[in-house]
A and B are shown apart, each in its own frame.
Chain A
Amino acid sequence: MAYDVVVGIEFLYAIATLVLISLGLAVIFGMMRIINLAHGEFLVLGSYAATVATHRGVNLWIAILVIAPATVALIGVLLERFFIRFLYGRILDTMLATWGLSLFVVGILTLIFGETTEGVGTPEGVVAIGPYTVSIYRFVVIGFAVLTVAIVYGVLRFTRLGLLARGTMQNPAMAEALGVDTSRMYAVTFALGAGLAGLAGGILAPVSVVFPTLGGSYLARAFITVIGGGPAILAGTSAASFLFGIVSQAVSFLTTQVYGEVALLVVAIALIRVLPRGITGRFFRGSL
């Protein structure tokens, strides 16, 4: 019984991690149709920001929740202004450009920090569930994932900014005709996506080691989740994370992690074959 609880927690944790790492990409790719191959590096930048801040004495939670997303959002704004905005509508060029950007970021991080950076220890200790001990931080991550989705939903649905962003993404010409400063909306939306990636990086920093090439481990899964999720960025990402998280964890528990990854990929392939527009291309259509 206790083991089942632990397994359940691990399932939720896997889903939560997928949601967190994919949400930023869902905004940038899902809303703006920019294939951002530097998404993994945005995550890593968030992790580094949180790590550096913590080592400088900033409170861990502020470093994770404020400094990490703010830093990457700022970098996102600068990138959008000076780099990405010239590539709207040019999908292949964006892929090449963001791929180059990712290599550049990895190089810069290696130059500044070297390969071995002492990371951030996992806070909060453990809780006992029967004879098993589980890190409390796992629950914290799950909580943050839920909170992040709720906040993004709130912003997009209930604020003026969210309305303008959604309108601009749906029909930029009409939005501009109605007086919206679309180029500023693009910058804001890109910054939001980057900030979300930074937040995910910050939240995940205490459970992993931080090094420049860490982004590569997350990029593939983030893309698979976003594409599998479909056009509705929140409902889709959540649904896809749920599906892939459960499948990969179940197989990992029954066999090994290698087969868990394989299972995730097989399900993704099957999903795209059956639902080419992703889960929310068919179900939950019209939702956020």
Chain B
Amino acid sequence: MMIDRRSVLKGAAAVAGSAAVAPHVRAAGEPIKIASIYDLSGGLEGVGKPMHDLLMMAVDEINGGGGLLGRKIEVVSYDSQTSVQVAAQYAQEAALKNKVAVAHGGITSASREAMRPVFDRYRTLYFYDTPYEGGVCDRNIFCTGSTPRQNTDRLVAHALKAWGKKGYVLAADYNYGQITTDWVKKLAKDGGGEVVGNEFFPLDATNFGSTISKIQAANPNWILTVLVGAPTISFYRQYAAAGLNSKIPVTSTTFGAGHEELTLKPEESDGIVVCYNYIQSIDSPVNKAFLKRYYERFGKDALSVTDLAMSSYQSVHLWAEGVKKAGSLDRMKQIEALETGISYDSPSGKVSLEKSTHHAIFDTHLGVFKNREIQVIESYPQQRAVDTEEVCNLVKKPNDHQQYVIKVK
């Protein structure tokens, strides 16, 4: 076919005509895009994959119930490869290229703090669903993971009561580990005890011999670990090999978040005390129904549901509730709807979003590892992110865009 002026004009008119008509035709059935940016390789995939899987499960449940605002949700998944640079890059792509309605993602605080300014700049709503050190104050983000006052409080209180006054802290050497260590020191002191020593580790530390010797020399009543990074799980094995896990009990803010117990022998993890928003053995009808659906979907040999995976799941549902209330995908309308005290009946209990901090209010449970399962010791209803409430007020300062490093005095 010869390309002459007439055919070009005809073609252009056809395209212009369809372009004028098509958007209205497309928009009605066009899916809502959301982004999932989790580490699916590179070291943190043990944590990232379950969070991603449960996000997909929540999305499928919403789509199965008719979708959101009459449209299906489509997930654009990115593997941030346990790299902060890659996470930031994908955040930009999600915001600019895919123009997602919301992004869920980030595991380490480092990756969150790399992505948050990107989502701020490109005005894309962001949900950070992983437990962290608290203090993020930004109207564009909702942090639905637990903060130190929602779990570390309970761990330290339990340790002081059950085991003794002297503690020792082992923490990963970045902001989460450092801030949590400060909190433990303060909480121990407030509770009449003290932290007799603490140590920081790189994320790929494998030989803990010197640490174990130092712990023995300091002779604490308990140790609290804030270890992140798969190689550091060797610590628990070496600790047990030195015969210490029965002599100096362990409590942890992170153990179990990535099925670490499966890489150890049961004896090596028995007795470790943790505090999470979600523990699979929670006895409630919502949880039982959820677990039935979970094992149907992923098979009866699927790994247990971790607190982080549940956080991902319930956050998607929370966001969906917000969108339903807003009736629109406009970012500010979504934010305003989510600030009206949206709540969701999750397998972990009732979860709601708090207006002035954009953090979550939920139940927390103290549990102990036995034979690779966590048994609930005690439950605390509707815990608030008190630490972040003390520094952040988005009602008074809605243009706040920072993370407060909570000065633990």
Q: How far is the CA of A256 from the CA of B211 in the complex (A)?
A: 8
Q: Nearest-CB distance from B168 to chain A (Å)?
A: 13
A213 in contact with B243 given A118-B263, A118-B264, A260-B210 (CB within 8 Å): no
Q: How far is the CA of A110 from the CA of B42 in the complex (A)?
A: 11
In the complex, are the beta carbons of A257 and B210 less than 8 A apart? Answer: yes
In the complex, are the beta carbons of B209 and A121 less than 8 A apart? Answer: no
In the complex, are the beta carbons of B234 and A213 less than 8 A apart? Answer: no
Q: How far is the CA of A113 from the CA of B382 in the complex (A)?
A: 39
In the complex, are the beta carbons of B262 and A116 less than 8 A apart? Answer: yes
**For A281, what are the chain B residues with a Cβ–Cβ distance below 8 Å?**
none
Say which size band chain B's interface belongs to.
Answer: 35 or more
User: Which B-chain residue is minimally distant from A208 (CB atoms)?
Assistant: B234
In the complex, are the beta carbons of B213 and A214 less than 8 A apart? Answer: no
Choose among A115, A116, A118, A209 the residue that contacts B231 (Cβ–Cβ < 8 A). A209
Q: Nearest-CB distance from A122 to chain B (Å)?
A: 4
A115 in contact with B213 given A17-B207, A135-B238, A256-B199 (CB within 8 Å): no
In the complex, are the beta carbons of B209 and A118 less than 8 A apart? Answer: no
**For A133, what are the chain B residues with a Cβ–Cβ distance below 8 Å?**
216, 242-244, 247
- Chain B residues numbered 101-155 whose CB sits less than 8 Å from any CB in chain A: none
User: Which B-chain residue is minimally distant from A207 (CB atoms)?
Assistant: B238
Q: Which of A30-38, A124-132, A184-192 contacts B (4 or more CB under 8 A)?
A: A124-132
Q: Which of A2-10, A68-76, A231-239 contacts B (4 or more CB under 8 A)?
A: A2-10
- Chain A residues numbered 200-253 whose CB sits less than 8 Å from any CB in chain B: 206-211, 213-214, 216-218, 249, 252-253
Q: How far is the CA of A87 from the CA of B276 in the complex (A)?
A: 52
**For B268, what are the chain A residues with a Cβ–Cβ distance below 8 Å?**
121
Query: Does chain A have a CB within 8 A of B205?
Result: yes
In the complex, are the beta carbons of B241 and A135 less than 8 A apart? Answer: yes
A211 in contact with B213 given A116-B46, A118-B265, A126-B241 (CB within 8 Å): no
In the complex, are the beta carbons of A213 and B230 less than 8 A apart? Answer: yes
A257 in contact with B200 given A208-B234, A213-B42 (CB within 8 Å): yes
In the complex, are the beta carbons of A14 and B207 less than 8 A apart? Answer: yes
Query: Does chain B have a CB within 8 A of A258?
Result: yes
Contact with B along A93-118 (1 / 0, CB 8 A): 00000000000000000100001111
In the complex, are the beta carbons of A134 and B242 less than 8 A apart? Answer: yes
Q: Do most interface residues of chain A lie in helix, strand or loop, or is the interface mixed?
A: helix
In the complex, are the beta carbons of A10 and B259 less than 8 A apart? Answer: no
Among B46, B201, B207, B265, max chain A CB count under 10 A is at B207
Query: Does chain A have a CB within 8 A of B237?
Result: yes
Q: How far is the CA of A82 from the CA of B382 in the complex (A)?
A: 62
Q: How far is the CA of A281 from the CA of B260 in the complex (A)?
A: 44
In the complex, are the beta carbons of B209 and A258 less than 8 A apart? Answer: no
Q: Nearest-CB distance from A255 to chain B (Å)?
A: 9
In the complex, are the beta carbons of A258 and B173 less than 8 A apart? Answer: yes
Query: Does chain B have a CB within 8 A of A166?
Result: no
Q: Nearest-CB distance from A238 to chain B (Å)?
A: 18
Choose among B207, B217, B233 the residue that contacts A209 (Cβ–Cβ < 8 A). B233
In the complex, are the beta carbons of A253 and B210 less than 8 A apart? Answer: yes
Q: Nearest-CB distance from A68 to chain B (Å)?
A: 17
Query: Does chain B have a CB within 8 A of A138?
Result: yes
Q: Nearest-CB distance from B198 to chain A (Å)?
A: 9
In the complex, are the beta carbons of A132 and B213 less than 8 A apart? Answer: yes
Q: Nearest-CB distance from B54 to chain A (Å)?
A: 16
17 CB contacts below 8 A, A to B, read A3-B213, A116-B262, A121-B268, A122-B237, A126-B242, A133-B244, A206-B241, A207-B241, A208-B237, A211-B230, A213-B43, A214-B206, A214-B231, A249-B210, A253-B210, A256-B199, A257-B211
Interface residues of A (CB under 8 A from B): 3, 6-7, 9-10, 13-14, 17, 110, 115-119, 121-122, 125-126, 131-135, 137-138, 206-211, 213-214, 216-218, 249, 252-253, 256-258, 260-261
User: 20 additional contacts, CB 8 Å, given A110-B41, A121-B265, A134-B242?
Assistant: A116-B259, A119-B264, A121-B237, A122-B237, A122-B238, A126-B241, A133-B244, A135-B242, A207-B234, A207-B237, A208-B237, A209-B231, A209-B233, A209-B264, A213-B42, A213-B230, A252-B211, A253-B214, A258-B200, A260-B210
| For the complex of A and B, 6 pairs with smallest distance between CB atoms | A122-B241, A135-B241, A126-B243, A208-B234, A116-B262, A10-B209
